[in-house]
Amino acid sequence: MATRPLALPSPFALPSPLAMLLRAAVLALLAFAIFGPLLNLLLWAFAERWYFPNKLPIEFGLTYWYRVFQPRGNALASLGTSVWIALLTVAFSLAVAIPAGYALARLKLPWRGAILLTFLLPQAVPNLPVYVNIAQVFYQIGLNGTILGVVLVHASHGLVLAVWIASAAFASVDASLEEASRNLGASPWTCFRTVTLPLATPGLIASAIFVFLESLDEFTGTYFVGVPDVTTLPLLMFNATMGGNYQISSITALLLLIPSIGFMLVVERFLKADVLAMVGR
Amino acid sequence: MMHGSGRRVTSEAYSRPEFAPLLDGAVSLDRKLKRLVQRYARARSRLGSSGCGKTTLLRSIAGFVLPDSGTIKVGGRDITRLPPEARETAMMFQSYALWPHMSVADNIAYGLRMRGWKKDAMAARVEEMLKLLQLQGFGPRPVTQLSGGQRQRVAMGRALAVDPHLLLLDEPMSNLDYKVRLELRHELRALQKRIGITAVYVTHDREEALTLADRIAVIDAGRIVQIGAPEQIFHQPSSAFVAGFMGADNALDLVRTENGGLATVTNGVPPEQRIRAHFRSDAARLDGAPPAEDDLVFTGTVAQSVYVGQGYRYRVRAGNADIWVHAPERVAEGTTARVIVPRAALLLFSKDSSL
């Protein structure tokens, strides 16, 4: 009699047809939930004509793309505004996050935990009441409808990410590396510039990217503070959707996807495990 | 945790319980430190068990810890209140602390750049250091690609390149294999002699201290308990603590007999008459040649035997004392044996002098 290997249930063994069917169904549902809306977006972006009761567009074409990208179309202008606001938000957030993160990571601050939580507050409180208040205050001091106003609103969000990640990035720099630098004759500032900052840079880049994406996507705050003078891409998309122009809103949505996906790939490279382990420490 | 009269120290080190002993002894430590650092242009090893304050002492010389009181002088210059970068000391860290974002050459050149060296002079000095440490050709490599021993040498090169007044070494060998450590120990000693640099070397490894040092300072609980040449520390320890630390692992209470000899303590002997005796396990012998007149003889049973490469180490249970003795021959556990300790091998300390 031939010896038989122990029959262990293996995940690689061929399952029964029913189990296979079930698995396929779950996977299909999942795929539909994730990719379905994106596919719909793609269809709408290239649909020339599509109305009830047709399941698919009647006519495909690039007419709306021309409309979006023509010099007179305000899509490109609002893309520019969006990117400009995002860059300013990143600059502002980093300007605060670098000193704050360093202080939180290195100095023995008495209220460390409380300070970290303070930066978290804008996320914890419901957004709308905060924005309504901000809009009112900004209106009084003339910040409503200005780029600066929108940047400040975006930064209130971005700072949480920026400060927390920056603090983690600085904390993951071994203190003895700084001591070695001071020991060999570097002043505190030179030490920071030549040792601490370069070593924290990957984490800082990651935090900058997060802030950038957060700002690019932001809608509610911009709506309350920026409208009608500042039109970002999400606002444009909102207006197009409300006006029933699904083609324009789909195309702008696709435009918004590009930096998000691109940066996500980059962030994955910069945000190392040792930095992540320090978040919130 | 603050020293009553001293100034406020914000260093984290002082708030950690293991440094508490140093804090208690901070005044005496610094007074001795002053004397210590002022005088010698020789390599010195500091020895002590972990947490006794030797690293804190080194860090206060480097300027990372501010002493509560006392002064630190290097070559007559008071550096107590100077920031680290103005002290002209170069420290070699236990972790080496090489900058991972720089090449080997950039690491070594860092101190020179801080001192405003010209580019070609800097390159020449780096080359000189690489040659000295047998790292030729390693200049452009990232330090992350080096082995432990190579990193150690780069850290050494980085410290030596600036020609410091004082080289500080914080257990630089503790991260290396035993074999590499043995080699580097001799290399380091040869290098230090060749360059003729004053170095303070912190270690808890007795052998390392004995091989490397011109003078050894033994630290216990933040105090320097003995300073002297290695031979002196080894053969004439000033206290029971130093004796134990330098490998005199047997400790017994003895009492002086009427005819001037020594005997083991019986129950009736009051503590003030007792004498603490230390001796090395290899200075005693198991039976063998008959004992001389004033030798100390213990009779007991062999309770444990351990093979240690060159012979055996035995634990002999004599009365209520355990005696460790080294012997070349094999003796079965449980046999009755005599341990003979020559009078000259005994290091005696009266009870109150022991720390």
Percent over 70 (pLDDT), chain A: 90
Q: Exposed, middle or buried by CB within 10 Å (0-12, 13-18, 19+), for A73?
A: middle
Across the interface, of A177, A182, A198, the residue whose CB is closest to B85 is: A182
Mean pLDDT of chain A: 82
Identity of the residue numbered A35? F
pLDDT, tens digit, 9 for 90 and up, residues B175-225: 778 887 888 888 888 888 887 788 888 888 888 888 888 888 888 777 778
* CB-based contact A153:A214 (threshold 8 Å): no
Across the interface, of A185, A190, A195, the residue whose CB is closest to B99 is: A195
Please state the ipTM of this predicted complex. Answer: 0.72
Cβ separation B85–A176 shorter than 8 A: no
Q: Is the pLDDT of residue A192 over 90?
A: yes
| Angle between helices A147-171 and A127-140 in degrees, nearest 10 | 130
Q: CB B2: neighbour CB atoms within 10 A?
A: 12
The residues of chain B that CATH labels 3.40.50.300 are 12-239
Q: Is the pLDDT of residue A86 over 60?
A: yes
pLDDT, tens digit, 9 for 90 and up, residues A197-234: 999 988 898 888 889 988 988 888 888 888 778 888 88
pLDDT for the residue B31: 47
* Fold designation for B12-239: Rossmann fold (3.40.50)
B90–chain A Cβ distance below 8 A for any pair: yes
pLDDT, tens digit, 9 for 90 and up, residues B171-182: 888 777 888 788
pLDDT for the residue A6: 54
How far is B102 from chain A, CA to nearest CA, in Å? 9
pLDDT for the residue B4: 31
pLDDT for the residue B22: 32
Q: Which residues on B lie below 8 Å from A187 (Cβ)?
A: 85
B85–chain A Cβ distance below 8 A for any pair: yes
The domain segmentation of chain A, as residue ranges, is 74-276
Tokens of B346: 């005994």
Across the interface, of A108, A187, A194, the residue whose CB is closest to B12 is: A108
Q: Does residue A242 or residue A191 have the better pLDDT?
A: A191
Cβ separation B62–A194 shorter than 8 A: no
Residue B340, CB-side half-sphere exposure with 13 Å CA sphere: 13
* Fold designation for A74-276: MetI-like fold (1.10.3720)
B70–chain A Cβ distance below 8 A for any pair: no
Confidence of residue A196 (pLDDT cuts 50, 70, 90): very high
Q: Is the pLDDT of residue B51 over 80?
A: no
pLDDT, tens digit, 9 for 90 and up, residues B322-334: 888 888 888 888 8
Q: Which residues on A lie below 8 Å from B100 (Cβ)?
A: 199
C-alpha to C-alpha distances, A103 to A106, A164, A167, nearest whole angstrom: 5, 12, 8
Confidence of residue B15 (pLDDT cuts 50, 70, 90): very low
Cβ separation A199–B99 shorter than 8 A: yes
Confidence of residue B354 (pLDDT cuts 50, 70, 90): very low
* CB-based contact B99:A173 (threshold 8 Å): no
Q: Which residues on A lie below 8 Å from B63 (Cβ)?
A: 182-183
pLDDT, tens digit, 9 for 90 and up, residues A8-35: 555 555 668 888 889 889 988 988 888 8
Across the interface, of B10, B12, B90, the residue whose CB is closest to A183 is: B90
pLDDT, tens digit, 9 for 90 and up, residues B100-129: 999 999 999 999 999 999 999 999 999 988
Cβ separation B97–A177 shorter than 8 A: yes
Highest mean pLDDT of the ranges A86-90, A130-134, B77-81: A86-90
Lowest mean pLDDT among A239-253, B131-145, B256-270: B256-270
Identity of the residue numbered B149? G
Residue B337: strand pairing partners: B300
Q: CB A52: neighbour CB atoms within 10 A?
A: 5
Task: Tell me the average pLDDT across A239-266.
Answer: 81
**What is the three-state SS of B222-260?**
CEEEEEECHHHHHHCCCCHHHHHHCCCCEEEEEEECCCC
Q: Does residue B241 or residue B75 have the better pLDDT?
A: B241
Mean pLDDT of chain B: 77
Across the interface, of B91, B98, B99, the residue whose CB is closest to A183 is: B91
What distance in Å separates the CA atoms of residue B23 and residue A170, rounded to the nearest whole number?
30
- In the A/B pair of chains, how many CB contacts fall below 8 A? 60
B245-353 maps to which CATH number?
2.40.50.140
